[in-house]
């Protein structure tokens, strides 16, 4: 066991809204019961391995700023152990119930796939032991099928079937590691599953390849008895110009075409929604409406930047609307709130990681409370129900049930003379209601 990475930092605890302690929870009180459920069980927070423990702080114009000790150790497996020590130290200090990781975040890539798989097995055992010691659980695991140059033209969608085969090797190992650790879900983000130009891309073939790959993963999931859903993470672009998993609606159509709806749901991320030209609330509402809501990556973008900045969330207004969708649809299910978030490049102190996560958790807790109050008062639900009340009549229900022909409706419209009168949508009134809560 190496020296504590976070020095003498003490565990972060709930101290109430009036606390002046910069490292305290003001709203996140994990045992507080909200709408019949403990806050911790509503929110199911997860810290991700990659941004906090694998990213060195580089950007396109400059390299490492963080200088983490495990990034400068000659023995890659010893470094993986030191990294795991720091990660579990952070989980404990935050009292965060879950974590998430990619295969290559946890264990180093070997000279062959067999070596990489062996490395992952060693670290899976280490995780198992650390999880038993601390009670930390795994929200999801995943495989990195986008960083290595072999994947530059895609993993499942690569023009070379050998790359598809290699990706299958990586995913089997990562899925089995996730299963061994009791993971609640398994994620597939298609970072390179897209294209830069159609001049060198056979789009039809690539979609078929992606459909086949996911079907294979679903088959294997059943074979090993993994119960959680597979989650696709929609994102319209970055790194590729056009990604096949563009947004929730596109992913839904894809899942339907390849008959994957029984096994695959979506993992939604705020800035991916924005990059696709949607609001975060839209993507969440649509996923629930289509029955494919899986989980959330709870980080945000920057309104002035056109790329995915993966910042810790702090827009309480936006999050209140998202939690309202979550609560009215019965909660996160097997999903959770994963901070796929990184501290800024200048935030070089270990304690900055604690500030980022604790602030994000607190912001979510506050938004949850706002949304719960709004829902309990039926503040938005009641006006919504009355707006659609006409559809509750027997006559309207018969239309939706398919019992009435177009000709019958047309004759009815002719009989009714002047026709329906429009009513106000009342948007301003509704926005003001939300402002009372958020």
| 193: partner contacted, choices Mg ion, ligand 3MF, none (Cβ within 5-8 A by kind) | none
Site track for ligand 3MF across 92-131, x = CB under 6 A: ----------------------------------------
Residue 286 CB, shortest distance to ligand 3MF, in Å, is 18
Query: Which CB, 247 or 308, lies closer to Mg ion?
Result: 308
52: its two tokens: 């906090």
Contact 187, 141 (CB under 8 A): yes
Query: Which CB, 136 or 243, lies closer to Mg ion?
Result: 243
Q: Does 308 bind Mg ion (CB under 5 A)?
A: yes
Query: Which CB, 126 or 187, lies closer to ligand 3MF?
Result: 187
Stretch that binds Mg ion, among 68-76, 92-100, 169-177, 304-312 (CB under 5 A): 304-312
| 324: partner contacted, choices ligand 3MF, Mg ion, none (Cβ within 5-8 A by kind) | none
Q: What residue number has its CB nearest to ligand 3MF? A: 189
User: CA-CA distances (angstroms) from residue 182 to 266, 280, 312, 416?
Assistant: 20, 29, 26, 61
Which of 119, 124, 136, 142 binds ligand 3MF (CB under 6 A)? It is: 142
- Could you give the CA distance from residue 306 to residue 308 in angstroms, rounded to a whole number? 7
Query: Which CB, 123 or 371, lies closer to ligand 3MF?
Result: 123
| Residue 160 counted as an annotated binding residue | no
Does an H or E element contain 137, and which?
strand 137-142
User: How many other C-beta atoms can be found within 10 angstroms of the C-beta atom of residue 184?
Assistant: 23
The torsion of the CA quartet 109, 115, 118, 124, rounded to 10 degrees, works out to 0
- Could you give the CA distance from residue 181 to residue 391 in angstroms, rounded to a whole number? 48
Query: Which CB, 283 or 297, lies closer to Mg ion?
Result: 297
| Residue 283 counted as an annotated binding residue | no
- Which entry of 85, 105, 245, 247 is annotated as an active-site residue? 105
Q: What is the size of the binding site for ligand 3MF (CB under 6 A)?
A: 10
| Burial class of residue 192, CB neighbours in 10 A (0-12, 13-18, 19+) | buried
Q: Does 365 bind ligand 3MF (CB under 6 A)?
A: no
- Could you give the CA distance from residue 228 to residue 224 in angstroms, rounded to a whole number? 12
| 187: partner contacted, choices ligand 3MF, Mg ion, none (Cβ within 5-8 A by kind) | ligand 3MF
Contact 361, 313 (CB under 8 A): no
User: How many other C-beta atoms can be found within 10 angstroms of the C-beta atom of residue 37?
Assistant: 14
Site track for ligand 3MF across 264-303, x = CB under 6 A: -----x---------------------------x------
Whether 247 is a known active-site residue: answer: no
Q: Does 187 bind ligand 3MF (CB under 6 A)?
A: yes
- Could you give the CA distance from residue 79 to residue 122 in angstroms, rounded to a whole number? 13
124: its two tokens: 């899976």
Whether 105 is a known active-site residue: answer: yes
State the DSSP code for 420: P
| Burial class of residue 108, CB neighbours in 10 A (0-12, 13-18, 19+) | middle
297 DSSP β-pair partners: 269, 338
| Residue 21 counted as an annotated binding residue | no
Residue 436 CB, shortest distance to Mg ion, in Å, is 32
| 158: partner contacted, choices Mg ion, ligand 3MF, none (Cβ within 5-8 A by kind) | none
| Residue 428 counted as an annotated binding residue | no
| Residue 308 counted as an annotated binding residue | yes
Does an H or E element contain 107, and which?
none
Residues that constitute the known binding site = 233, 269, 272, 297, 308, 310, 340
Positions marked catalytic: 102, 105
Binding site for ligand 3MF (CB under 6 A): 50, 142, 187, 189, 233, 235, 269, 297, 308, 340
């Amino acid at each position: 066991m190496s020296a504590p990475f976070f020095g003498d930092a003490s565990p972060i605890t709930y101290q109430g809204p009036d606390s002046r302690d910069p490292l305290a929870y003001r709203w996140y009180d994990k045992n507080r019961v909200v709408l019949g459920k403990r806050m911790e069980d509503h929110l199911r927070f997860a810290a991700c391995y990659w941004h906090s423990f694998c990213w060195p702080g580089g950007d396109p114009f400059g390299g490492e700023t963080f200088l983490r000790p495990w990034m400068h150790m000659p023995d890659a497996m010893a470094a993986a152990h030191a990294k795991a020590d720091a990660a579990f130290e952070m989980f404990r200090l935050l009292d965060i119930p879950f974590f998430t990781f990619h295969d290559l975040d946890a264990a180093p890539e070997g000279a062959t796939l067999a070596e990489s798989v062996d490395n992952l097995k060693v670290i899976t055992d280490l995780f198992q032991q650390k999880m038993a010691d601390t009670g930390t659980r795994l929200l999801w695991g995943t495989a990195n099928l986008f960083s290595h140059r072999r994947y530059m033209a895609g993993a499942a969608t690569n023009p070379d079937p050998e790359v598809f085969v290699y990706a299958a090797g990586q995913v089997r190992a990562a899925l089995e590691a996730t299963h061994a650790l009791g993971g609640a879900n398994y994620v597939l983000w298609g970072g390179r599953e897209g294209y830069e130009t159609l001049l060198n891309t056979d789009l039809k073939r690539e979609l078929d390849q992606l459909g086949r790959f996911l079907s294979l993963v679903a088959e294997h999931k059943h074979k090993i008895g993994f119960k959680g859903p597979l989650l696709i993470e929609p994102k319209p672009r970055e790194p590729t110009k056009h990604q096949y998993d563009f947004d929730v609606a596109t992913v839904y159509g894809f899942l339907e075409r390849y008959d994957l709806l029984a096994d695959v749901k979506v993992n939604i991320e705020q800035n991916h929604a924005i990059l696709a030209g949607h609001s975060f609330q839209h993507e969440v509402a649509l996923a629930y409406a289509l029955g494919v809501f899986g989980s959330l990556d709870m980080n945000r973008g920057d309104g002035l930047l056109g790329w995915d900045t993966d910042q810790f969330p702090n827009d309480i207004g936006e999050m209140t609307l998202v939690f309202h969708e979550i609560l009215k649809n019965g909660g996160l299910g097997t999903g959770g709130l994963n901070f796929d978030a990184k501290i800024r490049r200048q935030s070089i102190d270990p304690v900055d990681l604690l500030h980022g996560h604790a602030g994000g958790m607190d912001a979510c807790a506050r938004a949850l409370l706002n949304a719960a109050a709004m829902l309990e008062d039926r503040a938005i639900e009641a006006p919504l129900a009355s707006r659609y009340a006409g559809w509750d009549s027997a006559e309207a229900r018969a239309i939706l049930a398919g019992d009435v022909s177009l000709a019958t409706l047309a004759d009815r419209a002719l009989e009714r003379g002047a026709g329906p009168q429009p009513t106000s949508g009342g948007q301003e009134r509704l926005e003001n209601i939300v402002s009372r809560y958020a």
